[in-house]
Amino acid sequence: MTIRTIFVPVRGDGKGESVLNGALALASRFNAHIEVNHCRPKPDDMLPLGTYLNQALRKQITDSASNMADEEEKHLKEIFETYCSAHDLAVSDTPPWPTDRTSVAWRERTGKQAAVVSQYGRLADIVAVAQPESKGSLGHNTLEAAIFSTGRLVLVCPPELQAPVGGHVAIAWNGSAEAARAIYMALPVLAAADQVTMLCANAPDEPVPGPHEAEQWLATHGVSINIETFTSSGPTVGNNLLSMSRRLGVDTLLMGAYGQSRQRELIMGGVTRHVADNAEIAVLLVH
């Protein structure tokens, strides 16, 4: 089992290169294939909701939106080609993909980015997305679509991501089904890592199963880990996970996403949201 394809959605928001950097840093560990998907908006999506428009005005707006989409597509394709040349990436549009180097393809998809991710991300090993804006809404719909609709590992890439990705991986362990699913789905990443550390909150009640049981299971798959504990509770868990990761020199944090109900996390805030919004390293999420 290995990582063969990484799905990367891009649009004209200026975040595409940071996501490509993260995807490439991880893909290079496996000579994987990167599918770059330009999410082209539908002209009808640009029409104002709840407002009557006569046919002439409607056509004017959709024609203008279509022209803008054409310009965005052309601009992003040029950036993509320059990026591929600068990083010596093999452009390969049809399988089989090369196995001796990282390859990449450009795809055009029509629709909102979250919808494109939900549909086409299901056929990738990893979906890479931009870190959402902590003080706005941009990016959260795409991230949640990747987490809840694809059933895949989701790589969250911060804007100033520094390579490598997947060199020193930290596992956020709390004994939950989401955390267990995360280590199972990320086994190829963990097996290829130079170092793996398990982070576990030093709470009065140890999680069940505990970190040592998880360590034994990982050992059966050839993955050796170190276990580190930290004192944390309530809203400080996410912050302490990131602080501990920085102190240990971790470059990738793996964790189960939305262990509480999604509604409770959205209302009260939670570990998933805090880490996704504030991490300065790559984060791998699994629900």
pLDDT at 218 (0 to 100): 98
Mean pLDDT of the chain: 89
Phi, psi of 166 (to 5 degrees): 90, 10
pLDDT at 47 (0 to 100): 56
Pairing of strands 33-40, 5-10: parallel
Higher pLDDT, 207 or 80: 80
Beta bridge partners of 169: 196, 252
Note whether 78 and 149 are within 8 A (CB): no
The mean per-residue pLDDT over the stretch 203-226 comes to 92
pLDDT at 53 (0 to 100): 65
pTM for the full predicted model? 0.91
Cβ neighbour number for residue 195 with a 10 Å cutoff:
15
In the structure, what pLDDT confidence band is assigned to residue 268 with cuts at 50, 70 and 90? very low
Can you tell me whether residue 114 is helix, strand or coil?
Answer: helix
Q: How far apart are CA 199 and CA 283, in angstroms?
A: 14
Q: Could you tell me the fold of the domain covering 5-157? A: Rossmann fold (3.40.50)
CA nearest neighbour of 98 among 20, 9, 177, 5:
5
Quick: pLDDT tens for 70-84: 888 899 999 999 999
Place of tokens 């909701």: 49
Q: How far apart are CA 166 and CA 163, in angstroms?
A: 9
* pLDDT over 70, % of the chain: 89
Higher pLDDT, 98 or 135: 98
Asked whether the predicted pLDDT for residue 205 surpasses 90, the reply is no
pLDDT at 125 (0 to 100): 98
Q: How far apart are CA 106 and CA 141, in angstroms?
A: 23
Asked whether the predicted pLDDT for residue 137 surpasses 80, the reply is no
Asked whether the predicted pLDDT for residue 65 surpasses 80, the reply is no
Asked whether the predicted pLDDT for residue 39 surpasses 70, the reply is yes
What does the domain layout of the chain look like in residue ranges?
5-157, 168-286
Asked whether the predicted pLDDT for residue 162 surpasses 80, the reply is no
pLDDT at 206 (0 to 100): 77
In one letter, which amino acid is 236? T
**Residue 274 contacts by C-beta under 8 Å, 6 or more apart in sequence?**
235, 238, 239
**CATH number assigned to the domain with residue range 168-286, chosen from the 4 options 3.40.50.620, 3.80.30.20, 3.10.620.30, 3.30.420.40:** 3.40.50.620
pLDDT at 44 (0 to 100): 66
pLDDT at 264 (0 to 100): 43
Higher pLDDT, 206 or 256: 256
pLDDT at 232 (0 to 100): 72
CA nearest neighbour of 147 among 6, 272, 1:
272
Quick: pLDDT tens for 223-263: 999 999 987 765 678 899 999 999 999 999 999 998 655 54
